[in-house]
Structure 1
Amino acid sequence: MEKNKALLIIDIQNDYFEGGSNRLCGSEEAAIEASRLVKYFRIRNLPVVHVQHISTRAGAKFFLPDTIGAEIYHSVSPKDDEPVVIKYTPNSFFKTDLKSILDSMNIKDLTVCGMMTHLCIDTTVRAAKDLGYNCTVVYDACATKDLKFQEESLEAKDVQLAFLAALYPYFAQICSVDDIVCGTQEN
């Protein structure tokens, strides 16, 4: 039901873009697609909830408090009436008021986009499922990065595919922005 649906934008912040401290592969393209989702939800007067990661752990190199890098990227900037949830860990629900915000709006279905697919998107979607939310992850409005484990390197496109495949279908439905804005996907 559309009235119980919200867009959850996770960590689309300046440090993930060119000139930032932790540039991701495809961040610019993902931000363009995320801005299309924002417009779609705003036109329909559906809630848009922003999540902003602030890194307070020792040795952190990005999303440092009170820096331009930690600010939400301009193309998905929150409006005054849109909640911004500050988080300090990958899970957007952990020690935040996200659940109470969603519950106050009677949200049951989350459309999720943002960064990084392999960490904050994955962790938040799994937590959302545990809390009873139905999730749809919009893959082309998400970005990640190349990873290395032991002596193996994985390209961002492979990381993206692996994490999306692991979320589908138990934790989330997976679709594109076009699936939503052109009406071929229902949460």
Structure 2
Amino acid sequence: MFFLEERRRHPCRINHVALLVIDVQRYFCDLHGGAYLPGVENALKKINDLIKAFEDKALPVFCTVHRGNNKMMKQWWGNSVEGQQTELSVIQKKAQIIYKDSYDAFHKTKLENCLRKEQVKQLVVCGVMTHLCVETTVRSAFVRGYEVVVAQDACWDKNDWYHFSSLKSLAHGFAVVSLADEIICMLGS
């Protein structure tokens, strides 16, 4: 197992949890999106499974929408994300939508207030891109005192190298890395 050493030190438990789905929108997940990620379809299935499991248990679900409308994001990438490119690519009924303009879902958003209102202590995080918005948000959650579980197979990136490098770093110091089906099983117990 890729993350076995880290899992021995930090076993995965689910408690006062919310699901945070990062940037699963047309821009990244649609074949004609501005930054389509080939292979994302496999992660989308797992993300939808997680959303359904959380909604079935009446647990909070938050979905971020990346716009990139800040100076540094525009300077680095040369654009922002607008219109249909911001539409979500997942099936969700009750999710709270969090609009963000940087990699970090906490930075200048309502996310932390929403989590406090729901008395969330732990986040299950999934989405795209693993090495940018997912990783930055996980690190930010950790320094804010949240326990974090990253659903390895419900995240995706430009390629395996970025994806697994990021997961390995997160497992070393910030989060438990688990499979979506394992998380769903823990929700049932």
Instruction: Specify the TM-score bucket, using the shorter chain as the normaliser.
Output: 0.7 to 0.9
Query: RMSD across aligned C-alpha pairs, in angstroms?
Result: 2.2
Match of 1:36 among 32, 37, 49: 49
The CA distance in 1 between the partners of 2:91 and 2:127, in whole Å, is 10
Counterpart contact for 1:7–1:111, Cα < 8 Å: yes
The CA distance in 2 between the partners of 1:184 and 1:104, in whole Å, is 21
Shift of 1:63: 5.6
The CA distance in 2 between the partners of 1:108 and 1:5, in whole Å, is 6
**Matched residue type, 1:127:** S
Distance 1:63 1:16, change over 3 A: farther
Task: Tell me the equivalent position of 1:151.
Answer: none
Shift of 1:24: 1.0
**Matched residue type, 1:105:** E
Shift of 1:82: 2.6
Counterpart contact for 1:41–1:47, Cα < 8 Å: yes
Q: Structure 1 residues 14-23 or 116-125, which shifts more?
A: 14-23
Shift of 1:93: 0.2
SS in structure 2 of the partner of residue 31 of structure 1: helix
Task: Tell me the equivalent position of 1:162.
Answer: 165
Task: Tell me the equivalent position of 1:76.
Answer: 91
Match of 1:5 among 17, 28, 32: 17
Counterpart contact for 1:3–1:46, Cα < 8 Å: no
Tell me the TM-score normalized by structure 2. Answer: 0.84
Distance 1:63 1:42, change over 3 A: farther
Q: Structure 1 residues 123-132 or 177-186, which shifts more?
A: 177-186
SS in structure 1 of the partner of residue 125 of structure 2: strand
- The structure whose residues are more often helix, as a share, is 2
Shift of 1:61: 6.4
Task: Tell me the equivalent position of 1:131.
Answer: 144
